[in-house]
Every structure is written in C-alpha cells, then in structure tokens.
Amino acid sequence: MNHLVWFRNDLRVEDNTSLTKACMGEKVIALYCFDPYYFETSPFGFKKTEKYRAKFLIETVSQLKESLNQLNIDLLVFYKKPENIIPELIQKHNITKVFLQKEWTAEEINTLERVKHKCDPTVIFEESYDQFLFHPDDIPFKSYKEIPEVFTNFRKGCEKITQVRKLLPIPKAKPLENRILNNTKIPSLTDLGLDTFEIDVRTAFPFLGGEQQGQKRIDHYFWETKKLGFYKKTRNGLLGADYSSKFSPWLANGSLSARIIYWQVKAFEETIQKNQDTYWLIFELIWRDYFKYISLKHGNSIFKIRGILEKEYDWKNSENAKTQWIYGTTKEPFVNANMLELAKTGWMSNRGRQNVASFWSKELCQDWRIGAAYFESLLIDYDVHSNWCNWMYNSGVGNDPRDRKFNIKRQAEMYDPDGKFQSTWLQNTLF
C-alpha cells in the first residue's frame, strides 16, 4: 500500500497522527502545497498571508523536509493549488490512501472537496483531529451542539473528566529503497510575491520557524530559565522575548502540538515546581481549544458580521479610520504603539490585541471583520479559530457574556506605567 501524507497545519514529525498512520504503509510520500490562494488579496483588501508569517512558514517547511529526510520520506513542495497536484501524485505513485489533519473551516473544506472531485473515488482520504489538547472523542459533551457558550463551563467540564492523550513518537525510518526522486524546491518570499525584510531589533518575537526551533523555545522557557514558574505574573507584558511563552506561532502551523507543551508542563511540575503559573499555561491551551470547538460548533458564523450571537450593530467602514488605526495615528498612543509593533514585526502581545480590537470595534465602531482580516494578514501566529473567535469576543458578537469595552488609557497606565513600550514604538518609527 502506498500512502500520501498531505501536510497542512500539522508541520511536525513528533505526535503527528496522520504521519504515524501513513507510515504503516509500504511506501510513504509527503506533500506540502504553498497554495497561491493564501497569498492573494482578500475581499477586505489585505494579502491573506503577509511576509512575516510567510517567512516563518518557509522556515517551518524547510525544517519539516529535513526531519522527514531522516525518516527516508521525501517532502514534495509545490507553489500550486492542491487540486492541481494531488490527483497527479496519486496516479503517478499508485496512492491508495491520503492522510491529513481534519479541518472544518470553509476555505479548507472547499479545497479538500476540489481535490476529491479530481481523484478516483476509490482513493481513501483519512482525516484526523490532531490540533486539540482535548480530543473531540474524549470531551464530556455528546455532540458539538452541546459545547457550552461560556468558556468556564467548557473548561470545568473538560478538566473534570477528560484526559490529555499521550504523545505519539516519531515514526521509524522507512526503507531507503522506497524513496522517490524529489527535485521540488521550497519557494522564497520573492517567489510568493512578498517583500524580503530585516527583523526589527525591537521585536518581542525574534524566533525562527520549525519543529526543532519550537522545542528549543520550550527548552529555554521551561528548563533553562524556568520562566514557566512565573508565567501568570508576566504574561501581560509588552516588551522582550520572555514575558510570555511565545508558543503560539508554532502551535498555529502545527510544528508543536498542544499535547507536546502540556506534557512538558507536567514534567516541569513534577521536577521543578507546580503553582498557579504552571497551571495558567495549561489554562491558555484550554482557551485555544475552546475557540476551536466554538468554530466547530458554529461553522461559518464566526466569519459573519453579526457573529455567533446574530447581533445587529451599526458597523461603519471608514477608510480614514482604517488608515489611522493601521498606521498608528489614532488619538490613543497605546493603540498606536501596538499597531506599529504589529506592522513592523508581525507580532503583538495578548494585552495589545485586546486593546486595539476593542478600540477598533467599540470606540470607532468599525466593521470588526476588517480588523480580523488585517490580523490574519500580519500575525505570525495567525490561527483561524483563535483569531476570528477572539475578534468576535472583543467586538460584542461572540462569547463574552459581559460584552466588555476596554478603557484604553487605564490599560496603558496599568500595563505600561512608565511608558517604555509606547516610547519604544512611537519614537523614531517610520512606516
């Protein structure tokens, strides 16, 4: 049996269900497509993937290729639509099964349907839910319709009975004689129609993409500096690499799994210390899971202007407001500093994200989806579920039962009392 692993947002060899299953076959081929669709301009006027995340992705795919090479598995890489590549590969290599991570948002579903439409119906596509901390088969809710609309109820229900699954080991190397000729190349930023750039020295995310780099970050944050033991106290920071874990970019493209991080936290608790801070990192992983389940429950409603609450607001669409927000020239210095950080680095702190989203949707009353689409374009750690559900949450059409509005000046006083963050980004910053 010849198997194909179609990598998407699961770009790792450890704890990868699709890869593990595929390796039960005689011959294994791996594929990653830089789908041109994700480098086009969206209806909101932004490239769907800008240079920061694209660079991180290129680094990640490069590392995945090296890791698979050690398993005698070739990673074929194309800058083409999957539906124009996968049917050809299936035919050429007599593939009987395609293994891939289960996705459920519209763009990914449509892509898969186009691929299947061009393939022989006897070819099996086996999808696996592999991006959760708590696997969908293990949660205490009979169906996705029963997922609570309040995070606390979801968290308590899962924490009470759900066990996090053990990690899957890296598969054993395949026989060398089963390798294929691979002359495909990983595209550059220029190939993808994006600008090259130098990393801004002020960035709070100076890291490279890839599974090994993600593990290196765990080693640094947990074991070398033991910063995990202070996570809750520092997580609302704004400057520097270590105020928070910064795991989200590796989680977003699947070069680290949530389970890998969870079991490392548990090892830290057993050997170093267990406290509120160590629990809080798991708490954040549960938040990540929750938004994935909300997305699973509500489907495409997370992309609609009325959100999952079907709430009517008088949303505006002002080019002037958008320009000021993006270029950091609003009346709020704290918002401006955060927006300039995002524009220059592809990164923004959690505290910053909540404030700029609240300002955009609740102060300026602008269409929240424009903000979500801008974040999608720029953020290194863009994750469809976290991004769009967080934007709904902050805009009053999602899962915030209190419908909060941030007092931006008060937030700046609390989290940037000496103005150091604001001065870092507002002084001598040219767009």
Is the residue at 169 inside a domain? no
Question: Which pLDDT value is given to residue 399?
Answer: 87
Residues 228 and 367 placed together within one structural domain of the fold: no
Q: Domain range holding 115?
A: 1-130
CA separation (Å) from 161 to 134, 265, 413?
Answer: 10, 19, 41
Is the residue at 246 inside a domain? yes
Residues 116 and 249 placed together within one structural domain of the fold: no
Name the more confident of 337 and 404. 337
CATH number for 320:
1.10.579.10
Q: Whole-structure pTM over 0.95, yes or no?
A: yes
Q: Is the pLDDT of residue 307 over 80?
A: yes
Question: Which pLDDT value is given to residue 404?
Answer: 80
Question: Which pLDDT value is given to residue 402?
Answer: 73
Nearest to 98 by CA among 170, 32, 24, 22: 22
Is the residue at 196 inside a domain? no
CATH number for 232:
1.25.40.80
Question: Which pLDDT value is given to residue 239?
Answer: 97
Question: Which pLDDT value is given to residue 401?
Answer: 67
Q: What is the pLDDT of residues 55-107, one digit of tens each?
A: 999 999 999 999 999 999 999 999 999 999 999 999 999 999 999 999 999 99
Residues 153 and 48 placed together within one structural domain of the fold: no
Residues 326 and 287 placed together within one structural domain of the fold: no
Q: Are 216 and 264 in contact (CB under 8 A)?
A: no
Q: How many separate domains does the chain show?
A: 3
Q: Encoding tokens for residue 356?
A: 């700029």
Question: Which pLDDT value is given to residue 180?
Answer: 85
DSSP state of 265: H
Residues 315 and 267 placed together within one structural domain of the fold: no
Residues 245 and 388 placed together within one structural domain of the fold: no
Question: Which pLDDT value is given to residue 375?
Answer: 98
**H/E element, 7:** strand 2-7
Nearest to 284 by CA among 266, 264, 258, 249: 258
Residues 21 and 51 placed together within one structural domain of the fold: yes
CA separation (Å) from 259 to 67, 115, 163?
Answer: 20, 30, 11
Average pLDDT over residues 289-295: 97
Residues 277 and 322 placed together within one structural domain of the fold: no
Average pLDDT over residues 309-314: 93
Residues 289 and 323 placed together within one structural domain of the fold: no
The pLDDT mean for the chain works out to 96
Residue that has been written with the tokens 């004689």 in this structure: 177
Q: What is the pLDDT of residues 340-379, one digit of tens each?
A: 999 999 999 999 999 999 999 999 999 999 999 999 999 9
Q: What is the pLDDT of residues 195-218, one digit of tens each?
A: 999 999 999 999 999 999 999 999
Question: Which pLDDT value is given to residue 429?
Answer: 66
Question: Which pLDDT value is given to residue 286?
Answer: 98
Is the residue at 121 inside a domain? yes
CATH number for 93:
3.40.50.620
Q: Is the pLDDT of residue 15 over 70?
A: yes
Is the residue at 36 inside a domain? yes
DSSP percent split of the chain into helix, strand, coil, nearest 5: 50, 10, 45
Quickly state the pLDDT bin for 220 (edges 50, 70, 90).
very high
Q: What is the pLDDT of residues 122-140, one digit of tens each?
A: 999 999 999 999 999 999 9
Sheet (strand 124-128) strand order: 74-78, 27-33, 2-7, 95-101, 124-128
Instruction: Tell me the CA end-to-end span of the chain in Å, nearest whole number.
Output: 54
Is the residue at 179 inside a domain? no
Phi and psi at 368, nearest 5°, equal: -60, -25
Q: Encoding tokens for residue 375?
A: 């974040």
Quickly state the pLDDT bin for 9 (edges 50, 70, 90).
very high
Q: Is the pLDDT of residue 400 over 90?
A: no
Residues 124 and 136 placed together within one structural domain of the fold: no
Residues 126 and 105 placed together within one structural domain of the fold: yes
In terms of C-beta distances under 8 Å and separation of at least 24 residues, what long-range contacts does 157-162 make, across chains too? 158/134, 158/286, 158/289, 159/286, 162/134, 162/138
Residues 278 and 379 placed together within one structural domain of the fold: no
Nearest to 399 by CA among 386, 410, 383: 386
